[in-house]
Chains A and B, each alone.
Chain A
């Protein structure tokens, strides 16, 4: 082989070696880049999972808070409705007490009419008493204990039967 050819082959060899070296360098660079991409992808995946978990937790908390606020609102509404009911009861009870006092007055007048033996007046008053009992019964229960106290205080023991008949009267 001529020296020239040998030199040429050597030059080609060096060139090939250089290309090989360059290729190895590029492969190393690509591998490095690939590892970087892989690492970034893992970080991104972790971040996405964290974000997802945080979002779900935030949504869960928000839903829980909404539920709590709604329950409090329902409780306050319920307290108001309950209060309304007791307000109505107080009004009814006051009205019944007023009617009971009126009834006691009628019974007092019945006592006087009985003492005078005024049967006509007694009948008129008995009708009035029956009507007042009917009005009270439409609102609720009479305060029987209180009524008896009035009854006895006015000396009405002799009217026990009348009292019972008033309670069962239909007005």
Chain B
């Protein structure tokens, strides 16, 4: 990863994306769902993006399963991948389909939530100083 970029999932979910959640709470809440990222490999872990609460928050989970607090949440989607695949998606939005068809990106849960995740892409495009694609 280039030095001026987040180095992996923990850099994003533990340190930087929470700042985005703080800066744009209303936009993040448009997702109105629980998104669980389970990432295996180096720098992996499980993170719960709670986009239902006000303010929205990101929690790192030490458990292998979705934390009990989120069991039965109305809209939950779980995204499973490995650290290298996650980094590929960090660099290019076109990687997802190949990863999905090679079984490296697994999606379970309330699938209609996924269309609302577009908010994160839209938010990044509205950020000043970031190159647009």
Contact = CB atoms under 8 A, between A and B. Distances in A.
A75 B118 contact: yes
Interface in B71-126: 79, 86, 89-97, 99-101, 105, 107, 111, 114-115, 117-125
Interface residues of B, number: 42
B99 A77 contact: no
Contact of A85 (B92, B119, B122, B130): B130
A104 B130 CA distance: 32
A46 interface: no
Contacts of A28: none
| Majority SS at the chain B contact face | helix
Contacts of A69: 96-97, 99-101, 105, 107
Q: Which of B19, B92, B124 has the most CB of A within 10 A?
A: B124
A85 B97 contact: no
B6 interface: yes
Contacts, number: 124
A82 B90 contact: no
Contacts of A65: 100
- Which bucket holds chain A's interface residue count? 20 to 34
A85 B124 contact: yes
Interface string A97-119: 00000000000000000000000
Interface of B: 4-6, 11-12, 16-17, 19-20, 23, 79, 86, 89-97, 99-101, 105, 107, 111, 114-115, 117-125, 127-130
Interface of A: 65-66, 68-90
